Amino acid sequence: MSRIGRMPIPVPAGVEVKIDGAHVAVKGKLGELTHTVNHAITVKLEDGVLHVTRAKDDDAAIHGLERSLLANMVHGVSTGFEKKLEINGVGYRASKDGKNLVMNLGYSHQVIMPEIPGITIEVRDQTHITIKGPDKQAVGQFAAEVREKRPPEPYQGKGIKYADETILRKEGKTGGKKK
């Protein structure tokens, strides 16, 4: 049996789970998420705990995947997910203009990214961006798209990076010369 798949998913108070065949809907204070479960997997709600089971031993990988997706849905609607980004570089900065994230990243124009439904963008100061939402995949994808606008470069470290990311720095041309 899949070690991840056999673990039960506790459903916290304030989270409502509806199972209709292969469709699972999870509703909480931060929103509602839906997912269609693979045909080889069965989901049951008993005493405030979700149990994910499979029919055959061949489906171990999909068993663990479906359990993780459902656990992320329950966590997302109750607590939520967030990604923190940092902007490094002289003149590089971000601000919020209505529902748009406006960034100056050394280009001749401003980079404008509109907020997508289900995602909240917070700009604490000019160099720190926080992206929040109930859907883990959507938060991660939007954070990756923001980072993609100016990825960190290895020589000076300028660009947008995740807050917990370490950029490996290179020496440059003059650093390796011997006298």
For residues 65 and 95, state if they share a domain. no
- Across residues 99-105, what is the average pLDDT? 95
Mean pLDDT score of the chain: 92
| Spatial distance between the Cα atoms of 110 and 107, rounded to a whole number of angstroms | 7
Residue-wise pLDDT for 6-53, tens only, equals 899 999 999 999 999 899 999 999 999 999 999 999 999 999 999 999
Tokens of 89: 């570089």
Would you say residue 144 lies in a domain? yes
For residues 127 and 147, state if they share a domain. yes
Among 23, 56, 78, the domain boundary falls at 78
For residues 85 and 74, state if they share a domain. no
Cα-based distances in Å from 41 to 44, 59, 64, 91: 10, 8, 10, 52
Res 178: pLDDT: 64
Are 149 and 93 contacting, i.e. CB atoms less than 8 angstroms apart? no
- Residue 54: give the domain boundaries: 9-78
| Domain harbouring 61, CATH code | 3.90.930.12
Res 61: pLDDT: 85
Residue-wise pLDDT for 52-62, tens only, equals 998 887 778 89
Res 37: pLDDT: 94
For residues 87 and 67, state if they share a domain. no
Among candidate residues 119, 153, 159, 123, the one with its CA nearest the CA of residue 136: 119
Quote the percentage of the chain above a pLDDT of 90: 81
Res 55: pLDDT: 84
Would you say residue 167 lies in a domain? no
| pLDDT of 103 over the 80 cut | yes
